[in-house]
Amino acid sequence: MPLARELSPHLPRLRRYARALTGDQARGDALIGATLQALVDNSASFPGHLDPATGLYKLFHAVWSRTNGNEAARSGGAPGRTAQERLTHLTPRSRQALLLTAMEGFANAQAAEIMDVDEAEVECLLEAALGDIDRQISTSVLIVEDEPIISMDLEEIVRELGHSVAGSAVTREEAVAAARQRRPGLVLADIQLADGSSGVEAVKDILGFASVPVVFITAFPERLLTGDRPEPTFLITKPFQRMAVKAAISQALFLNTAAPVH
């Protein structure tokens, strides 16, 4: 089977990962483009001894590491640096390990292969990432979810992380009203809501009057990860793993960037 055909099914996941890692759709997609260009320029650069998904992420990691390092050198730690530069200066590798395992579902051994470290280091990086989560400044979270069981589960996760629940909403109208009443520090939003309204549109309305990071939740991530239009930066797939939600919340709050939904 041609390599392009083997890698194609994994590109939506890689887009999600790249955006979560950088906190920006444009930046993440640019890195995806650079990764694919590197493959076109030199097909031998693909680690053929690995399965397609692990090999693709490993190639992306090599591109990201080179670019990330160059940006760190240019920034010089100056005040007002971008979210990506803050990530560079703090703990990018621990957060990368957390995203690879918790959000992307790689085993520790696969994450180690992708990151070019041994498995013991991945375990240490994961401990550091969990420590970062524990040290986060608490905030209030608005939950926009029309399934009661899932909403309750999300509330429990939010409180486990030390945050408070600003409110819950099941429709676009309720979500916007709740955000106006009590400005949240984070929004967790389903895509399809109870009355047929859109969680994406609800978030678009909220971002019109409040700058707040957003994590989207959907059973159909492939519909939102095409790369053809502005899309959510942080995206969790249903049914979700609790640690995946925690990882996304941590990264969204750390980068503190509003999701680019238009």
Q: Read off the pLDDT of each residue in 61-85 and give the average, rounded to a whole number.
A: 56
Which one is predicted more confidently, 250 or 143?
143
Q: Read off the pLDDT of each residue in 231-253 and give the average, rounded to a whole number.
A: 86
User: Residue 7 falls within a domain, yes or no?
Assistant: yes
What is the domain extent for residue 166?
136-255
Taking the alpha carbons at both ends of the chain, their separation in whole angstroms is 38
DSSP helix, strand, coil percent of the chain (3-state; round to 5): 60, 10, 30
Q: Do 95 and 132 touch, CB atoms closer than 8 A?
A: yes
Query: Does residue 97 register a pLDDT over 50?
Result: yes
107 and 171 share one domain: no
105 and 165 share one domain: no
146 and 241 share one domain: yes
| pLDDT band of 69, cuts 50, 70, 90 | very low
* pLDDT over 90 percentage in the chain: 48
187 and 236 share one domain: yes
pTM for the predicted model, two decimal places: 0.72
User: Residue 260 falls within a domain, yes or no?
Assistant: no
153 and 93 share one domain: no
User: Residue 261 falls within a domain, yes or no?
Assistant: no
Domains of the chain: total = 2
User: Residue 13 falls within a domain, yes or no?
Assistant: yes
SS3 of 179, please?
helix
State the Cα–Cα distance between residues 16 and 19, nearest whole angstrom.
5
The DSSP output letter for 137 is P
Q: What is the pLDDT of residue 262?
A: 38
Residue by residue, DSSP assigns 102-118 as IIT---HHHHHHHHTS-
Q: What is the pLDDT of residue 225?
A: 63
What counts of helices (H) and strands (E) characterise the chain?
Answer: 12, 5
Q: What is the pLDDT of residue 138?
A: 87
CATH number of the structural domain spanning residue 50: 1.20.140.160
User: Residue 238 falls within a domain, yes or no?
Assistant: yes
114, 133, 152: which is the final residue of a domain? 133
Q: What is the pLDDT of residue 91?
A: 66
